[in-house]
Chains A and B, each alone.
Chain A
């Protein structure tokens, strides 16, 4: 493919720029522009045009990304042309200039299936990559494979890739390394395995520890028992020692008790009682005397008091008189005030009566309206406003409801819209057809996609018929036939390979025999049978001559010239023959082996011959099979590839046909769906008209029609619904109106009833009934106040009358009492008379009180006297009882008797205490027996001895207990121990780490090996043709400094060498320089030569692409620039070549070298076409 014109509409800072690249006989296009003028942008524009914009383009800075456009006219090597425009977008980004979509497959076909990678890395080269390639070549020390690989452009520094892969693999494992990950993991696993083995609890360990624990426990038990027994004995002896004194005391005590056996055993408390009783008796006798004297003194005082006064009999009446005096004094003081208050009340009644319209009302309130009347009027007045407001509200509601009813009646009277149910039914029935458009589009899209895929696959098909239709009609042999051919050819190939393998084997065998023969011969004297035969012949000749000359003396010429004197010669020949014979005898075995080898060699040579013949036959057979294979395709116009590839080809062909069939099916489905859609649309349209609806103008799709119809149906349904709702609302309004009428009637009736009640209630007032109820309170309030004032006046009058009555009663009572107690009744005030009576009563009352007090004192004295006498009797009886207990009649000897009893009691208590003390130590009887039987003299020594023995036993027991505990702990630790399980888990985890390292090693090594093999394979396939082309280009590029390239076998495989041109007259071998011996400039030229060769080779096999050299030659001198231009022009014979440069000199040199075969394009001129640029934007 070559570009005829590049059209940059909007890209980077370019707009509306055209770069014409056609031109008959043009071998090189030079695009000249200064740095930053956009040469690299042009390269990217071509790349984006051919292979699409990347998701993030750096060239959307002047125009929005969605406005970026690059177009071109191009021509395929077979003359097919194409004009396209590429825009930035997600899909369908390729169009014709008039914006019709262009299938990517069409462009892909123009490019021969090349990818962006192929274009950018093989067909584009700049100075930087050139230099990098040159440096890599030097670093690769001339390795041919690497050099070719890198120069192919698609691969970076392959040596570096290989080195990194191998280095990474080595960090994981190499057989000799110890610090790589794999050996480290292996060592760790080994260490863990050892640790695990150590940590494992074995049966023997468990049994040993278990046995040890049992034995230690038994020993500890025995020691404990012995210790316990010794401690018991020590305790016994210590008890004896503690109890000796107690037992002795006990014995003394029991002796004392025996002596006092006849003495009664009394409690100590009885002595105390006796002492207390005697003391109490003495104090009682003294007290009795005192009491009796007091009684006599009191009796004397009583006798000296006067008799009882008669006034005391009227004391109650006199007390009542005292109270009356107090009341009357208060009434006399209150009387004037009450009279004033009564007068004020009468005045107030008069004033209020005038206000209430009752001018003739009396002060006692006679003629005042009853309280019930006032209350009734108040209630009615309160109801008045409610009744009035209810009536007014009823009036308003009635008016409003009547108006509302009229409005609704008008609304309900409108006509009913038509029923849209039939149309809705049709919509439902066509619902499934609603997405027919989508389905149609989908089917069409599927058909289109399928056809596109078929087209793309077709373009990729190799070999390929002229057209897609031809693919269907091409007469491909039947599958069986294909399979048969494939089998036959495969068998033939297999046979050829087998025959060749046998041939190789036979050759190897022959070579091995030769080696064996050489080795056998190397270790043996050169004494072949031939030599022996010749030596013997010489000896026989010598003997014959000697016999003739010496023995038989016959003259004649010697049979052969043997040289030297005859005897010597004979001797020599005899010796020689003998020595050869001897040597053969000595080396008989080796010689036999050599003979054997020779026979084997003969056999092997025959086998090689046979195998060669076999190979030839098999190859013939294979050729015949291939011919038959080619014949099978005769008539199809297709030159078949090998059967396996053709089988895949046929599969692909079937797949393409299947895709085409699928596309046809999809298209038919789309047509059928379109018909269904049209029918459904007609139905909908008809029913819309029937309903009086207006269908949309034109021929809208079913979906649009359905939407319109659905909208109309919804609107009709809403209107029908609104009509029904209006009827319901009218009925509701009618009911509401009736309710309002009833409410209004009720309000009128209530208002009338109130008026009647009001008139009746106000009549008793005798006033005008037209009084406003809201003003009624101005009358009713004073009436209520009058009623209160009247009540208050009545109370005051009653109080004044009561005070007068009290004064009269007090005077008459005072006078009557004065007469009764014998006082003269003077004409003085009753209050003075009352004071005299009260003084007389007070005097008589005090005398009577003294009499009563003395009587009470006397009674108390006499009672104490009686009680003291009874206590004396009790004490005397108790003392008599004690004497009886002490067995004596003499009360004065009670103390001595008591001492004997106390002694016995003390001894008894002491004995009990001692026995208790012994019991605290154990059985008292046993202890007494132990003490009595003990050898008290040796007791201390025995205790001390036992103490020592126990200390020793305790130490032993402690040691044994510790041992037992340790053994038990050991067992428990075994039971609790996680044992080796954790270590086993750690080991497993390490194995996981090892596995991971090994997996990484394998993947790196496989990748490295694949790359190495590919490298070698690439070299084998491409070395000769590439080096051959590159050799010419290199000689040209170096302007004859080097005559060619050569490959020599070096230590590490074939090496690429640059063969320096011989100086004139130099007859020696030309110098063959390895990459390391080249200057960097020459290395760059060598890399360029290889790259040009790779491009030529690619173009020879596939559709050519334009080669873009981007500022490639700035470091070249003029000669080499000329040479490079010539090389690029040479490439221009194969494919289109664009050279970007910012050096005008390069353009001049190109013009000078190539003349009309070069076209110079100045970017500045091209950009001047850009209207935006022209405007100076």
Chain B
């Protein structure tokens, strides 16, 4: 007997960071979160699951489109026709205060209240189940909700649902923090958790499981994504599996280009690497960041012609792969020393200028008066992005731009020698 858990669906949310270049497999990513949810529903039906648990962040926030809710309702009807019940608890993204619109969900859907932890009991095929859960009333729930959960129901398989960042997880916002020991102390046979997007089975006396998010949404969410399936025997969870349900795989191709002799070779190496990742993507299309590494004579050219190189990689890589971005993390073969004060040549002056700006990042805004004007006309999401394209106040950003400028100028100023050669 199976119980399917899927969390952090973020239905209808966008896949981030993809650059709409010509020939990109845009169709492959449309409606990815819906298709992934559809895969979970199909899996639940095929596995003849008794319940689907959704511990938070089903929605990404308030619905931009009423169709988002309608789609979920339609999928739940499909689940209902197969006799499967669904249990939903809202998380920080779809907290009650965050989502202003709601639908009357189909009868097989039970939504847990936000003012208290509640228990829903039912019996199916001789198994008596008690699902305990609680929704977020607002996004910023920082109190420990686990301690408010009721005692287990005797003679039932008790499963808790909670949207939480477990203690010790520094990578995620501390919503409804609690410890594995506190969860185990409730005496349930298992816990289905949401919020952490990485699938994970917490080491504890009973199964405590993060199924991870359903579909990777940006390049930091790589690898297979999907749901968790509890196998239940004799009122015990005897196995936890993590079948993938995603429709698009994210990955990063780390490509050592130190052996390449020209940009075509770099593109070929990158395309081969992407091809390898695609082969391991379970037949799914791939959104891939290409990270070029290695110490190479081509460093300056790679940096200067990065856009052109990216297009070349995109043209060479398989059509099923979306090259999200090409990053130049290469290093030059030259030794970059500080030019001595007595050097009077022009290149030394260029280097001194680069270092001057590095030491005074505020000079960038002064040297580029148009920078502010361009920033003003950008969409808010780029303007306010902590990793946005214009951040003159960020020393790291300035440092990176100076490094790029060094490569661009080194290459272009040496262009005449190359042409002569």
B344 near A161: Cβ-Cβ < 8 Å: no
A1014 near B349: Cβ-Cβ < 8 Å: yes
Scoring A residues 136 to 173 as 1 if CB is less than 8 Å from chain B, else 0, what string do you get? 00000000000011001111111001001100000001
List residues 365-421 of chain B with CB under 8 A from any CB of chain A.
367-368, 370-371, 373-374, 377-379, 381-382, 388-390, 401-402, 404-405, 408-409, 412-417
Residue from B33, B344, B357, B412 in contact with A164 in the complex, judged by beta carbons closer than 8 Å: B412
Residue from A157, A1006, A1012 in contact with B401 in the complex, judged by beta carbons closer than 8 Å: A1006
Scoring A residues 998 to 1012 as 1 if CB is less than 8 Å from chain B, else 0, what string do you get? 111111111101111
| Nearest-CB residue, chain B, relative to A977 | B67
List residues 61-101 of chain B with CB under 8 A from any CB of chain A.
64-68, 70-71, 73-74, 101
Nearest chain A CB to B80 CB, angstrom units: 14
Q: Which of A200-208, A446-454, A541-549, A929-937 contacts B (4 or more CB under 8 A)?
A: A200-208
List residues 331-350 of chain B with CB under 8 A from any CB of chain A.
337-338, 340-347, 349-350
Q: Does B280 contact A (CB under 8 A)?
A: no
A residues in contact with B1, CB < 8 Å = none
Q: How large is the interface on B (under 10, 10 to 19, 20 to 34, 35 or more residues)?
A: 35 or more
Q: Which of B20-28, B128-136, B178-186, B222-230 contacts A (4 or more CB under 8 A)?
A: B20-28
Q: Does A331 contact B (CB under 8 A)?
A: no
| Nearest-CB residue, chain A, relative to B354 | A1010
Chain B contact residues: helix, strand, loop or mixed:
helix
Nearest chain B CB to A132 CB, angstrom units: 8
Q: Does A189 contact B (CB under 8 A)?
A: yes
Nearest chain B CB to A1002 CB, angstrom units: 6
| Distance between Cα atoms of A844 and B146 in the complex (Å) | 129
Residue from A996, A1013, A1101 in contact with B367 in the complex, judged by beta carbons closer than 8 Å: A1013
Q: Does B172 contact A (CB under 8 A)?
A: no
A residues in contact with B381, CB < 8 Å = 991
B412 near A161: Cβ-Cβ < 8 Å: yes
B350 near A182: Cβ-Cβ < 8 Å: no
Scoring A residues 104 to 123 as 1 if CB is less than 8 Å from chain B, else 0, what string do you get? 00000000010001101110
A1010 near B66: Cβ-Cβ < 8 Å: no
Residue from A990, A1011, A1098 in contact with B345 in the complex, judged by beta carbons closer than 8 Å: A1098
A residues in contact with B101, CB < 8 Å = 203
Residue from A122, A991, A1011 in contact with B382 in the complex, judged by beta carbons closer than 8 Å: A991
Q: Which of A12-20, A246-254, A938-946, A1016-1024 contacts B (4 or more CB under 8 A)?
A: A1016-1024
Taking A200-B65, A994-B382, A998-B378 as contacts, is the C-beta distance between A165 and B15 under 8 angstroms?
no
Nearest chain B CB to A135 CB, angstrom units: 13
Scoring A residues 435 to 468 as 1 if CB is less than 8 Å from chain B, else 0, what string do you get? 0000000000000000000000000101000000
Taking A156-B415, A998-B390 as contacts, is the C-beta distance between A203 and B68 under 8 angstroms?
no
Q: Which of A28-36, A351-359, A760-768, A979-987 contacts B (4 or more CB under 8 A)?
A: A979-987
| Nearest-CB residue, chain B, relative to A199 | B65
Q: What's the count of A-B pairs with C-beta under 8 Å? A: 220
Q: Does B29 contact A (CB under 8 A)?
A: yes
B379 near A189: Cβ-Cβ < 8 Å: yes
Scoring B residues 239 to 268 as 1 if CB is less than 8 Å from chain A, else 0, what string do you get? 000000000000000000000000000000
A residues in contact with B325, CB < 8 Å = 996
Candidate in B18, B24, B389 with the most chain A CB atoms within 10 angstroms: B389
Chain A contact residues: helix, strand, loop or mixed:
helix
Count A-side interface residues using an 8 Å CB cutoff.
85
Q: Does B319 contact A (CB under 8 A)?
A: no
B residues in contact with A205, CB < 8 Å = 66
A1009 near B66: Cβ-Cβ < 8 Å: no
Taking A118-B345, A978-B34, A1007-B409 as contacts, is the C-beta distance between A156 and B353 under 8 angstroms?
no
| Distance between Cα atoms of A1011 and B14 in the complex (Å) | 40
A121 near B353: Cβ-Cβ < 8 Å: no
A residues in contact with B408, CB < 8 Å = 165, 1003-1004, 1007
A residues in contact with B371, CB < 8 Å = 1002, 1005
Nearest chain A CB to B411 CB, angstrom units: 10
B residues in contact with A991, CB < 8 Å = 379, 381-382
A residues in contact with B34, CB < 8 Å = 978, 981
A201 near B67: Cβ-Cβ < 8 Å: yes
| Distance between Cα atoms of A173 and B15 in the complex (Å) | 26
Nearest chain A CB to B66 CB, angstrom units: 4
Taking A155-B347, A981-B31 as contacts, is the C-beta distance between A1006 and B352 under 8 angstroms?
no
A residues in contact with B350, CB < 8 Å = 155, 1010-1011, 1014
A982 near B31: Cβ-Cβ < 8 Å: yes
B382 near A1017: Cβ-Cβ < 8 Å: no
B residues in contact with A118, CB < 8 Å = 345
A121 near B417: Cβ-Cβ < 8 Å: yes
A1010 near B345: Cβ-Cβ < 8 Å: no
Residue from B14, B21, B405 in contact with A984 in the complex, judged by beta carbons closer than 8 Å: B14
A residues in contact with B281, CB < 8 Å = none
B residues in contact with A987, CB < 8 Å = 14
Q: Does B276 contact A (CB under 8 A)?
A: no
A994 near B64: Cβ-Cβ < 8 Å: no
Q: Does B200 contact A (CB under 8 A)?
A: no
A residues in contact with B389, CB < 8 Å = 995, 998-999, 1002
| Distance between Cα atoms of A261 and B19 in the complex (Å) | 103
| Nearest-CB residue, chain B, relative to A642 | B341
B65 near A981: Cβ-Cβ < 8 Å: yes
A989 near B24: Cβ-Cβ < 8 Å: yes
Taking A992-B18, A1011-B409 as contacts, is the C-beta distance between A1102 and B343 under 8 angstroms?
yes
Candidate in B21, B370, B405 with the most chain A CB atoms within 10 angstroms: B405
Q: Does B16 contact A (CB under 8 A)?
A: yes
Q: Does A1097 contact B (CB under 8 A)?
A: yes
Q: Does A371 contact B (CB under 8 A)?
A: no
Residue from B66, B71, B341 in contact with A203 in the complex, judged by beta carbons closer than 8 Å: B66
B residues in contact with A1102, CB < 8 Å = 342-344
| Distance between Cα atoms of A977 and B69 in the complex (Å) | 11
Scoring B residues 319 to 337 as 1 if CB is less than 8 Å from chain A, else 0, what string do you get? 0000011000000000001
| Distance between Cα atoms of A1012 and B409 in the complex (Å) | 11
| Distance between Cα atoms of A1008 and B409 in the complex (Å) | 8
| Nearest-CB residue, chain B, relative to A161 | B412
Q: Does B12 contact A (CB under 8 A)?
A: yes
Nearest chain B CB to A716 CB, angstrom units: 49
B residues in contact with A990, CB < 8 Å = 20
| Distance between Cα atoms of A365 and B24 in the complex (Å) | 114
| Distance between Cα atoms of A1101 and B417 in the complex (Å) | 25
A155 near B357: Cβ-Cβ < 8 Å: no
| Nearest-CB residue, chain A, relative to B375 | A998
Q: Does A880 contact B (CB under 8 A)?
A: no
Q: Does A974 contact B (CB under 8 A)?
A: yes
B378 near A996: Cβ-Cβ < 8 Å: no
B65 near A980: Cβ-Cβ < 8 Å: yes
A residues in contact with B337, CB < 8 Å = 460
Residue from A165, A174, A1013, A1022 in contact with B344 in the complex, judged by beta carbons closer than 8 Å: A1022
Q: Does A641 contact B (CB under 8 A)?
A: yes
| Nearest-CB residue, chain A, relative to B20 | A989
B307 near A1000: Cβ-Cβ < 8 Å: yes
List residues 326-364 of chain A with CB under 8 A from any CB of chain B.
none
B65 near A206: Cβ-Cβ < 8 Å: no
| Distance between Cα atoms of A1003 and B30 in the complex (Å) | 32
B19 near A155: Cβ-Cβ < 8 Å: no
A residues in contact with B71, CB < 8 Å = 975-976, 979
| Distance between Cα atoms of A196 and B30 in the complex (Å) | 14
Q: Does A683 contact B (CB under 8 A)?
A: no
Q: Known pairs A462-B340, A1017-B352. 9 more at Cβ < 8 A?
A: A155-B346, A182-B374, A979-B66, A995-B19, A998-B378, A998-B390, A1006-B401, A1007-B404, A1014-B352
A and B contact pairs by CB, cutoff 8 A, 14 listed = A152-B345, A161-B412, A462-B340, A976-B71, A979-B67, A988-B18, A992-B18, A992-B19, A993-B19, A996-B19, A998-B378, A998-B389, A1003-B404, A1013-B367
**A interface with B by C-beta (< 8 Å):** 113, 117-118, 120-122, 132, 148-149, 152-158, 161, 164-165, 173-175, 182, 186, 189, 196, 199-203, 205-206, 460, 462, 641, 645, 648, 974-982, 984-996, 998-1007, 1009-1014, 1017-1018, 1021-1022, 1094, 1097-1098, 1101-1102
